[in-house]
Amino acid sequence: MSASETKDQVAALGEKYKYGFVTEIEMERAPKGLNHDIVRFISAKKNEPEWMLDWRMAAFRRWCEMTEPSWARVRYPKIDYQDAYYYAAPKKAEQYKSLDEIDPKLIETYNKLGIPLSEQKKLAGVAVDAVFDSVSVATTFKEKLNDAGVIFCPISEAIRDYPDLVRKYLGSVVPVTDNFFATLNSAVFSDGTFVYVPKGVRCPMELSTYFRINASQTGQFERTLIVADEGSYVSYLEGCTAPMRDENQLHAAVVELVALENAEIKYSTVQNWYPGDENGRGGIYNFVTKRGDCRGANSKISWTQVETGSAITWKYPSCILRGDNTVGEFYSIAITNHYQQADTGTKMIHLGKNTRSRIISKGISAGKAQNTYRGLVSVHPRANNARNYTQCDSLLIGAKCGAHTVPYIESRNPSARVEHEATTSKIAEDQLFYCLQRGLSPEEAVALIVNGFCKEVLQQLPMEFAVEAQKLVGISLEGSVG
Amino acid sequence: MMLEVKDLHVTVGGKKILKGLTLSMKAGEVHAIMGPNGSGKSTLSYVLAGREGYEVAGGSVTYDGHNLLPMKPEERAAKGVFLAMQYPVEIPGVTTLTFLKTALNAQRRARGESELDAMNVLKFVRQRATALQINEEMLKRALNVGFSGGEKKRLEILQMSLFEPRLAILDETDSGLDIDALKLVAEGVNTLRSPQRGMLVITHYQRLLNYIVPDRVHVLAEGRIVREGGKELALELEEKGYSEVLKVPA
């Protein structure tokens, strides 16, 4: 059996993207293109108060003066921002009062995705918010969360129902002017999730949001804001899928986390947007700004991400370690296959004393994919005894892919200790042969070896999702052995 | 015959390594393949297991009456071909027990048998591991990572015991073992001798054959079997050395 034959055999097994179906459902859209009227249209659709519209308009004016960044190691044709829809919603969406009223086709879609919206079939202890294109269609477990005082709702609802909380924190971590994609999001975000955990409350269940792009030629701009008040704890997971389409679709989300004194937020992502086909056609452009602010002393924010989808991933979930004794963590698995490109990493900004950060990044590259880790560790003058440990491991499968590590380290405090370790390895032929000789198929062998490589990160995921993530790791690499 | 190799020619990277090797073995027998370095011993083991890069240029291999050569390596494994490797590989992050479970169930699935759950695998592994002095702690470590030479070879024999192969090939299982480890491994192998099983023991030295006594000994030189005999042939080789023995016409 030659190398190329193995490749073909495995490729034949792995062509299908399981989530690539389209739901036929009547959609309501804003006209194509982006201008003041579209921003007003979105705001009006959401029945937003005046302050929110002003906020959006300010962002839009700012965005018009900005240029798209080009420093990342990703290549793509110029995006025509006027050739996309900025709002699409299943018709009648806003009238849903209970789960029974939701279009059965939507329920079916989420069932196909493995998300049980009906509370009878609930995942043990996981509350789910589901965002379909531009609107949030269902939030489960509302009552139980209410009892604990936890607010978990679509952000559009929060803007209407909890304006003080939203105004206080929205844009306080990722300013409206932050970067091209975040500013665009600030102008046109259509929905997303809002979480508030009150003082001293340990959120009684995992919170989870599933994002689904369904409509064609539509950008998705969701906005997530999570606030953990003093001494509280919350674990949140987001999952993302999209249909297979030849076109590229834009996804530009903003996620803001605020941890007050002694609070802890654990944020996990399983990103499986459609990656494009094996020739690099189609797929999601994923330009996401995620940042957490450890605002109060002794707080902790932990990011875990499993990035297997998207044609392009541009994403740097970061921590601002503002309070003294705060902890930031970033655990990442980024898998690129075929023509996928990922430029992803984190920023750890040490502002407070005795702040600690830990970065574990596992990049896996196969096919003709390019995978870049880009990370910044910055220690400010006041951050006495700041500590960082960074470990970046890259695994290459085949000879035509690339792995790149771009660490930036800035230390302006002599007591800081920053450690960086990096390795690059290949799946060795003898490892594969050993597995095959013991009866594993080539795809089982790759999945096993890669899961071993990613183990430290997979262990960080909530139990309920770890098994799914392990399978996803295997599926994303089908067609990669050679 | 369980295994029949006829006039086998194999090239590796364009270089001819096996040049007309012929060999046959019945179920229940243990055959030793001895030969100097570079004679093609490891090539024979890899080509029987189906390793990529070992191109068959001529000849045939029949296993239980079937043509072995077109089968994929994992297919051969499921059909009972097992190769205990000279250099078992390390797989970081994958615990030994996870690997054993995955392999065991992959083979069972390929044979249309039901898969074993984690509890039953653990029970089965524990039962077979004790005799080879493999403890729980070793099963929890990543596969072969940081294992001593003796631990790696014991784990190979444990796998042979778990997979219960019909054809077991042991490639230089004695290399890198001290005398105690060698005895332990040999005992493990001897308990697996069975009328249903054939074993091909590949070794450079006669020492291993004091513990695993073969029914037949084949001497491999320059890609061909040049002499065959009973267990006493191994002793003759030990006494006279390869160069002296190979001068004698087969």
Residue B141 at interface with chain A, using a CB cutoff of 8 Å: no
Which pLDDT does position A338 carry in this prediction? 87
**Structure confidence at residue A203 as a pLDDT band (50, 70, 90):** very high
Which pairing describes strands A402-411 and B3-12: parallel, antiparallel, or unpaired? unpaired
Q: B203: distance to nearest CA of chain A, Å? A: 20
Q: How far apart are CA A422 and CA B242, in angstroms?
A: 48
Residue with the bigger pLDDT between A52 and A134: it is: A52
Other CB atoms within a 10 A radius of the CB of residue A287 amount to 25
Point out the residues of chain B with pLDDT beneath 70.
248-250
Q: Which residue of A has its CA nearest to B48?
A: A437
**Inter-chain residue contact A439 with B103, CB threshold 8 Å:** yes
The per-residue pLDDT for A8 is 38
B245 touches B236 (CB < 8 A): yes
Q: CATH number of the domain at B3-247, out of 3.40.50.1100, 3.40.50.620, 3.40.50.300, 3.30.360.10? A: 3.40.50.300
- To the nearest whole angstrom, how far is the Cα of B44 from the nearest Cα of chain A? 15
At residue A276 the predicted structure's pLDDT band, cuts being 50, 70 and 90, is confident
Band of residue A439 on the pLDDT scale cut at 50, 70, 90: very high
Q: What is the distance of C-alpha A219 from the center of its chain?
A: 15
Domain extent listing, chain B: 3-247
pTM: 0.83
Identify the bridge partners of residue A375 per DSSP, sorted by sequence position: A346, A407
Asked if A77 has any chain B CB less than 8 Å from its own CB, the reply is: no
Q: Contact A452/B102, CB-based, under 8 Å?
A: no
Query: Does any CB of chain A come closer than 8 Å to the CB of residue B111?
Result: no
**If you measure CA to CA, which chain A residue comes closest to B160?**
A438
So what's the pLDDT on residue B240? Answer: 87
Query: Quick check: B14 contacting A, CB < 8 Å?
Result: no
Q: Is B14 left (phi over 0), alpha (psi -120 to 50) or beta?
A: left
| Average pLDDT rounded to a whole number, residues A389-410 | 92
| Average of per-residue pLDDT values in chain A | 84
pLDDT confidence of residue B61 = 98
Residues from chain B that touch A429, judged by Cβ atoms under 8 A, are: 52-53
Rounded CA separation B124/A360 (Å): 36
**Which secondary structure element, helix H or strand E, spans residue A297, and what is its range?**
none
* Residue A122 confidence class, pLDDT cut points 50, 70, 90: very low
Cβ proximity of A173 and A257 under 8 Å: yes
Residues B122, B96: contact at Cβ < 8 Å?
A: no
What gap in Å lies between CA B160 and CA B169, rounded to an integer?
10
The token pair at B236 is 């003759």
What is the token pair recorded at A171?
């844009």
Partner-chain residue, chosen from A3, A441, A456, that has the shortest CB–CB distance to B74: A441
B38 CA to chain A: closest CA distance, Å?
20
Q: Which long-range contacts (CB under 8 A, 24 or more apart) does B86-90 make?
A: B86/B42, B86/B171, B86/B172, B86/B173, B86/B175, B87/A430, B88/A434, B88/B144, B88/B147, B88/B152, B88/B153, B88/B155, B88/B156, B89/A428, B89/A430, B89/A431, B89/A434, B89/B144, B90/A431, B90/B142, B90/B143, B90/B144, B90/B145, B90/B147
Q: Which tokens go with B25?
A: 């073995």
Neighbouring CB atoms inside 10 A of A32's CB total: 13
Instruction: Give pLDDT, residue B89.
Output: 95
At B189, the amino acid letter reads V
Q: How far is B184 from chain A (nearest CA, A)?
A: 22
Q: How far apart (Å, rounded) are the C-alpha atoms in residues B197 and B80?
A: 9
Residue B245 has what pLDDT?
Answer: 78
Residue A120 has pLDDT above 70, yes or no: no
Q: What share of chain B is helix, strand, coil (3-state, %, to 5)?
A: 40, 30, 30
CB-based contact A300:A327 (threshold 8 Å): yes
pLDDT at site A278: 83
- Element of type H or E holding A248: strand A248-251
Looking only at the bridges linking them, the beta strands covering A248-251 and A283-294 are parallel
| pLDDT reported for residue A445 | 94
Say yes or no for a CB contact (<8 Å) between A439 and B142.
no
- Both structure tokens of A397: 């499968």
Q: Which helix (H) or strand (E) holds B242?
A: helix B242-247
- Are A282 and A245 in contact by the 8 Å Cβ rule? The answer is yes
Share of chain A above pLDDT 70, in %: 79
Reported ipTM: 0.96
Amino acid letter, residue A420 = H
- Which residues on chain A are in Cβ contact (under 8 Å) with B88? 434
The answer for A 400-429 residues in CB contact with B (under 8 A) is: 428-429
Q: How far is C-alpha B12 from the chain's CA centre?
A: 20
* Residue A435 contacts B where some CB pair is shorter than 8 Å: yes
Q: Which of A137-141, A151-155, A172-176 has the highest mean pLDDT?
A: A172-176
- Give, in degrees to the nearest 5, the angle at Cα A174 between A341 and A137: 75
Can you give the C-alpha Rg of chain A in angstroms? 22
**What pLDDT is stored for residue A2 in this prediction?**
35
Backbone angles phi, psi at A26, to 5 degrees: -70, 125
Average pLDDT over residues A116-133: 54
Per-residue model confidence as pLDDT tens digits over A17-49: 556 666 666 667 778 888 999 999 999 988 999
Using alpha carbons, select from A457, A455, A213 the residue that is nearest to residue A329.
A457
Distance CA A362, CA A373 (A): 9
The secondary element (H helix, E strand) that includes residue A183 is helix A180-188
- Residues B147 and B155: their CA atoms lie apart, in Å, by 10
Largest CA distance in chain A: 67
Per DSSP (E only), the strands in B96-171 are 142-143, 167-171
Quick one: which H or E segment has residue A427? Answer: none
CB A211 within 8 A of CB A131: yes
Q: Is B36 on the interface with A (CB under 8 A)?
A: no
Mean local confidence (pLDDT), A88-98: 59
- Collapsing DSSP to helix, strand or coil, B203 comes out as strand
CB-based contacts of B241, cutoff 8 Å, min separation 6? none
> Which residue among B85, B106, B163 places its CB closest to the CB of A434?
B85
- Report which secondary-structure segment, H or E, holds A345: strand A341-350
User: Can you read off the two tokens belonging to residue A381?
Assistant: 């003058």
Total residue count of chain A as it appears in this document: 482
Contact between residue A233 and residue A100 where contact means Cβ atoms under 8 Å apart: no
**Could you give the angle at which helices A180-188 and A50-64 cross, rounded to 10 degrees?**
150
Alpha-carbon gap, residue A453 to B77, rounded angstroms? 25
d(CA B245, CA B228): 11
Q: Which long-range CB contacts under 8 A does A70-77 form with residues at least 24 apart?
A: A72/A314, A72/A343, A72/A372, A72/A374, A73/A341, A73/A343, A73/A370, A73/A372, A73/A374, A73/A404, A73/A406, A74/A312, A74/A314, A74/A341, A74/A342, A74/A343, A74/A370, A75/A341, A76/A248, A76/A285, A76/A311, A76/A312, A76/A341
- The pLDDT confidence band at residue A154, using thresholds 50, 70 and 90, is confident
Domain ranges of chain A: 3-476
Say how far apart CA A181 and CA A179 lie, in whole Å. Answer: 6
Closest by CA position to B52, among listed A447, A435, A453 = A435
Among B49, B103, B163, beta carbon nearest to A440: B103
